[in-house]
Amino acid sequence: MEPGGEEKQLGGRKLGRVVFTVEQVRARVRELGAEISDAYRTEDRLLVVGLLKGSFIFLADLVREIALPLHVDFLVAASYGASTVSSGDVRLLYDPASSLEGRAVLVVEDIVDSGTTLKRLLPRLQARGPTSLEVCTLLHKRVDGGEPAPRWVGFDAPNEFLVGYGLDHAEDFRHLPYIASL
C-alpha cells in the first residue's frame, strides 16, 4: 500500500493511510545506522537500550546496521495501555540489567510525542553513571512539551495515532512492515 492509499481492513479494523512505506523505513534505518556508527566509532563499550515493546523491530533492524561492537539490553515502560493517548503515568516495568557506569548508552525509542516517558526515564539512567546518554527515536511528533530532544530521529511524524513496525494499539498491528495511521 502506498502513502495516502485507500484504507485497509485488518482483523476487522480499518487502518488509515500508510504514512511510511517499507522501503522508506528500511532506507532510513540504514542511514541512522551509518550516522550512529560514525558518532560512536571510538567507543568500545556502546550499550543500546531498547524501550519495549514498541522499539523491538526498529531496534533489531537498527543494531544490524550499526557497524560497531555493541551490547543490547531493554527496559519496559508503560504509559498508553489500550488508549490512543498517553496517560502521563509512566510505569517502569523492567529495568536494564546491564551496568551503565562508564559506558556510552544509546536509548532506542519507537516514538516521541509528549516526551513524558523520556523525561521520567533519562534522569534515572543518567544517575547510573554512563559516559554519554543519547536517544534515537524512529518517530518524533514534535509536540511542544519541552521533552528531551533525541539526537537521532528517523522521521518527523504527523499528529496521528500510528501503528506498525513495532507500534501498536492495544497490542495489535505491531507486525505490519510499514507505518500507518489508525
User: Is 110 designated active site?
Assistant: no
Q: Which of 61, 110, 113, 168 is catalytic?
A: 113
What is the residue-wise DSSP string for 49-67?
EEEETTTHHHHHHHHHH--
Q: Which of 8, 55, 54 shows the shortest CA–CA distance to 172?
A: 54
104 HSE (CA, 13 A, CB side):
13
Residue appearing with cell numbers 527496559 = 75
CA dihedral 103→43→40→106, nearest 10 degrees, is: -20
Residues designated as active site: 113
